[in-house]
Chains A and B, each alone.
Chain A
Amino acid sequence: MSRSNMIRILLGIEMILNAGNFVFIYFATQHAAMGVVDPLGQSIVFMSIVTGGCVVAVGLALIVNAYKHFKTVDSRELRRLRW
């Protein structure tokens, strides 16, 4: 997240999200009933993957447009809006 490359920032967000997904999967195995992993924990992981994909799509579209305007993917250049 501390990198200045916009695509790396996006990758960082995805990694944090995946960490969250793993937490859910772990807890789903902890709440297993009758030898079956709790489906609730798994279903929310699927939904979170889908929404994460949507966020990446929007983010990549923004990066493409930012590249058109600023001619760079360095987030330090996006500093024209202040106060």
Chain B
Amino acid sequence: MVIPTSIYYLFTPMLVILAGILAERAGSPKIRDIVAVAVSALGVVFVWTLYSALKAAPENILVFSLGGGPPLGASFEIDMMGIFMAFSTTILAFFATVYSYNYMEHDTRLTEYYTLLSALVVGMIGVAFAGDFFTLFIFWEMMGIASYALVSFRKSLWGPIEAGFKYMVMGSVGSTVLFFGIALVYGITGTLNFAQISTVIRGQPINLWYYLIFALFVVGFGVKTAIVPMHTWLPDAHPEAPSPISAMLSGILIETGLYALTRVIFILFEPSFFKVTVSVLAALTMTLGNMLALRQDDVKRMLAYSSIAQMGYMLIGVSTGLAYGLMGTLLHVLNHSLMKGLAFLSVGSVVHETGTRDIKRLNGVGKSMPFTSMAVIVSFLGLGGVPGTNGFVSKFILFNAALGADMLLLVILGVLNSALSMAYYLRVIMVLLSGEAEEGLTAKEAPLLMVGVTLVMAVLIIVLGLYPSPVVGIASKAAESLVDNLSMYIGVVMS
């Protein structure tokens, strides 16, 4: 059991808060921003070193525990799927932090902001790497608490406070439901380790308790994942948060919920057990998300509803129960984190410069902000699934997998939903490019750093759309590590 040094990245929020306090004392707060950016860049390096260590490891799994054995320490099991999630997280976190440098410069209390942001990132990485429910729950709560505070960060306005309170109540009830589910699993098996639980529960005849556990997990993870009956916090919380935080929440936090749900239900149950439930949830989520997005005039709120719809597409992949479908889901997680991250960041630039989120008032803004508008257009076309962007690749794989699993109805619904979603994406693009700017609405191009980040992300979207094979390869290995190689995974952990 060798502990990779790079795992100590999980303690970096401490570094950020220390640097923040020292920099404020020294009277040069810019140092703190630079440290925060450096720490987020370090995250990408950290995931890369772990990835190389993982490739060198036998069976492609790293198992170790931090701070002693299971009752006292946190145990980690890093496999390809966790690495894939952590990679998506750190990449988006880097972009969001660099973007915050200019976006948040008029705000105060930035030490708290950067510390919470880095705690959020570390929480999500921890969820991705967790090897037992103990570790999973701690990092889950860490991610949740950081996000409640970040949503209501601008406490001088009433909107963030109301949204934050709603999110806090729903999120913590969700975590409590999850805690009950963990308690029942612990009651049945007497352990919290994923692999040991899997050997006890998986493949057993289904009884009432298993249905209850499944329901508790779907509700508990589903609140953060914004699966439809539990989605009501999302359209309030995402628009009210500062734009980089909206990008983090929409781009990767809800996907982390989906990742945890996927990992847990695949480890506990056979795919045939949850197939029907998850596909019904998928259909509901994408249809309702798109329908409600159509009638929004607030552009960030529209994007929030579109996130709900995209979660529906991702659930299609989970409901197939095949490695190919799960590969589509993982690919869509990475692609969606880039696309929705870019959408929120570039729309954030527009909001930052014009001061309004109302689509009807944004006429002709594109002429005065050409680069930002270009980024908006690329991200919206990607979200709609236009060929040439990465959104097309992952949606194609998802629908293809559903066809392979004989779920024709879900595919038809998905394609219809994709077409429907283009209606509201095209509306924004049309408004930005056509017409004359409103009287008194002055817009100029956003600061260089913000434009730079959005353009880099736009280029990434197109590159991954035209040349997806490297990412597809990693995603496919990641999906296989969970679905096909589950017995090998258990064997490595138990030995």
Contact = CB atoms under 8 A, between A and B. Distances in A.
Interface of A: 1, 6, 9, 13, 16-17, 19-20, 23-24, 26-27, 30-31, 38-44, 47-48, 51, 54-55, 58-59, 61-63, 65-66, 69-70, 75, 78, 80-81, 83
Given A27-B186, A39-B71, A13 B176 contact: yes
A55 B145 contact: yes
A66 B158 CA distance: 7
Contacts of A43: 71-72, 134
Interface string B148-179: 11001001001101111110110011011001
A78 B240 CA distance: 14
Contact of B187 (A23, A62, A75): A23
A81 B159 contact: yes
A31 B87 CA distance: 38
Given A13-B169, A65-B161, 5 more contacts: A40-B191, A48-B179, A51-B145, A59-B168, A62-B168
Given A17-B176, A31-B190, A78-B165, A58 B155 contact: no
A24 B179 CA distance: 9
5 contacts: A23-B180, A23-B184, A27-B190, A41-B186, A65-B161
Q: Which of B159, B166, B175, B295 has the most CB of A within 10 A?
A: B175
Contacts of B172: 13, 17, 55, 59
A54 B180 contact: no
A61 B205 CA distance: 47
B41 to A, nearest CB: 28
B179 A47 contact: no
Contacts of B180: 19-20, 23
Contacts of B148: 55, 58-59, 62
Contacts of B235: 83
Contacts of B163: 81
Contacts, number: 115
B262 interface: no
A69 B158 contact: yes
B299 to A, nearest CB: 14
Nearest to A66: B161
B236 to A, nearest CB: 5
A83 B133 CA distance: 35
A26 to B, nearest CB: 8
A24 B71 contact: no
Q: Which of A16, A44, A47 has the most CB of B within 10 A?
A: A44
A58 B168 contact: yes
A20 B191 contact: no
Contacts of A51: 137-138, 141-142, 145, 175
Contact of B162 (A9, A30, A39, A78): A78
A80 B183 CA distance: 37
The 5 A-B residue pairs whose C-beta atoms are closest, nearest first, are: A51-B141, A39-B71, A27-B187, A31-B190, A69-B158
B152 A62 contact: yes
Contact of A27 (B133, B175, B183, B296): B183
A62 B164 contact: yes
B297 to A, nearest CB: 10
Nearest to A20: B179
A1 to B, nearest CB: 8
Nearest to A47: B138
B70 to A, nearest CB: 6
Contacts of B179: 17, 20, 48
Contact of A80 (B159, B182, B192): B159
Nearest to B185: A27
B292 interface: yes
B141 A63 contact: no
Contacts of A39: 71-72
Contacts of A75: 165
A62 to B, nearest CB: 5
Contacts of A24: 183, 186
A9 B169 contact: yes
A6 B165 contact: yes
Contacts of B144: 55
B236 A81 contact: yes
Contacts of B138: 47, 51
Nearest to A54: B145
A21 B179 CA distance: 8
A40 B190 CA distance: 9
Contacts of B190: 27, 30-31, 38
A78 B165 CA distance: 9
B141 A62 contact: no
B229 to A, nearest CB: 16
A20 B183 contact: yes
A18 to B, nearest CB: 10
Contacts of A54: 141, 145
Contacts of B166: 78, 81
Contacts of A31: 186, 190
A69 B165 CA distance: 13
B162 A81 contact: yes
